[in-house]
Every structure is written in C-alpha cells, then in structure tokens.
Amino acid sequence: MDSPTDRRTFLKTSLAAPAMAAMAMELAGGAASAQTASPAPALPRGKIGQLEVSRMLLGGNLLTHFTHSRDLKYVYNLAAHYNTEAKILETLAVAEQNGINTLVVHTVPAILATLRKYRDSGGKIQWIICPTAPVLAGLELYREQVESLMASGTEAVYLWGVHADKLASQGMMDLMAEVIALGKSYGVPSGLGAHDLNVVIEAEKRKVNPDFYIKTFHHHHYPSAPKPDEVKGPIGETPGYWCANPEQTIEVMKAVEKPWIAFKIMAAGAIPPPEAFQYVLENGADHALVGMFDFEIQDNANLMREVLPKVQQRPRPWRS
C-alpha cells in the first residue's frame, strides 16, 4: 500500500518542481549557463583537415528522434518527448563539459535552429552536418542546402550515407566526386558517409578523394545480429545490423589513408559501450560517433578516456 504524502515531502516536491522548470527555461534561453559545472579533462583529439575533433563525437540521431529502434515504434515518440529543445541544449552543454567538441547530425530544420540558439548563447561544439537534399545532376538543390549550412557556421560537411549507398550502387561515382568537391570548395572538410562498404571500395578506386569517411562499424556478436546463414537484404531491412561485413571492413580500411569516423558502433544500442569502444578503436577507426542521451555522456566519456590508452595494437595507423 502506498504511504500517504507527508507535509515535508509535499513541500520538497512542490518547491523542486518550479526550480526544475526554471532550470529548463534558463537552458532554453542561454545554453552557456548550463556549462557552470567544472569541465572534465579534454578528450584526446585527432585532426581532420585543420579541424581538431575529439576521439568520441556526439551522434545526432537521438536529438532528431531517429532512434533506429527496430520494430519498437513507440521509442521514436518517447525520444521526441524526452529530447525537447531545452533537453537538447542541455545535452550539448553536457557533451562539452565532458570533453566532446564535435557533433555529427543530418540536416533537420528544427535541430539546426536549436544548434544556432546554442551557439548564439555561447556554446562552442563543432558541427559536422550532412545535407539531405536530393543529389541530382547539377547539384542545384544540394548546393543551396550546403550554402545554407555554411552561412550557419557548419565546420564540415559530408555526403549522407543513404545518398552515397545509392550513388555507388548505380555506378554514379562521378556525381559522388562532384558532391565531395562541392564541400571542399567552401574551405571546409568534405567527407563521405556509407553503410555499404562498396562505397569506400569504389571511392578509393575512383579517387573520389573525401577528406574523411563516416562508415558503419560493429561486430555481430549480439542477439539480434544477422546469423551466418541469413540472407542479407539492403542495410536496415535485416533487423539489428548496419555493418554487414565487419571483418571485410577491417581489411578494406587498413589501406585507407583518410580519417575514419566509425558510426553505429553499438548497433543502435545492442552492444554495450565498453565492448563497442574497444572493438572499433582496436580495429582501425580513428573516431567513434556515439549517440547518447544526456545522462549517458559522462560515463561514456570517462570510459573513452580509459579505453584509449589501452589501444596498442591496430591494423592501421591513426589517420587523424
């Protein structure tokens, strides 16, 4: 049986609610005020072009509510209710407090407005953003979106993996190269995203020359991973995998001299962080892109600080 609420408990909860509301309002109005806590030591960094990037980056999917939660459709709605604008501002501040200096996100108008608000209020986190405009001959719509991102202060751009997978499958590597060159023309690092390893293979063969790769990477030792005898369809159609061939990915990336940001390293939550971080760094990735809620950031940043010094044997040298 529930115990009745006594006067002291009632007063404490009644007073706490306005305080929490005030904190949320303060965050929404000025993200810099959320950075009052003592910052953690900076995470180790690498360089992509002239851009210094922390070894762990903040992924943007949870902030834009794309949870990749398989057939659990309610999780998308849950993420949208949790990651309000105030919470996103708080999350960005917590990431900076814990030494993460870069966010990777795709172009969604609502999140871009929030990022500008955060920066206007004193936030410093860097943006690596992929345009989502159609990639068509002439690149008119794509160029418009890139120019808008540049005007907003984006530090780097990359070709969205969804687009890159399609271009590679259709043999449209010349158009892919045009996209990469377009990003470079604005004086920022211009990268190439991929779920399909063939994107990297063809890009290297055809000298597409991105400044960095953002490629999925995780092992298959988790319950919902594809089984050896399972027929694999397009990425995303088989529940639980985004890196279809991790062993081949390790082999291909050995010869790639561009920096590599690994993403989907936890298979959208199926692989525990300690296991995921160790695996991707020991097997050649230069940076780990990690989607996190605000309450996960501190533990994951501390874990990354513990894992990095232990990474001694790698199949490829650090490329950033």
| Residue ranges of domains in the chain | 52-310
Count CB-CB contacts under 10 A for residue 147: 13
Confidence of residue 29 (pLDDT cuts 50, 70, 90): very low
Range 26-30 average pLDDT = 47
pLDDT tens readout for residues 246-267: 999 999 999 999 999 999 999 9
10, pLDDT greater than 70 = no
Architecture of domain 52-310 in this structure: Alpha-Beta Barrel (3.20)
Task: Encode pLDDT of 155-212 as tens digits.
Answer: 999 999 999 999 999 999 999 999 999 999 999 999 999 999 999 999 999 999 999 9
Check: CB of residue 106 under 8 Å from CB of residue 60. yes
Residue 2 has pLDDT above 60, yes or no: no
The answer to whether residues 107 and 133 touch, using CB atoms and an 8 Å cutoff, is yes
Q: Write down the pTM of the prediction.
A: 0.86
CA distance 298 to 142: 36
Higher pLDDT, 10 or 266: 266
pLDDT(61) > 50:
yes
309: pLDDT strictly greater than 60:
yes
Residue 79: predicted pLDDT? 80
Q: How confident is the model at residue 226 (pLDDT cuts 50, 70, 90)?
A: confident
Output 238 or 97, whichever has higher pLDDT.
Answer: 97
Per-residue pLDDT for 215 more than 70? Answer: yes
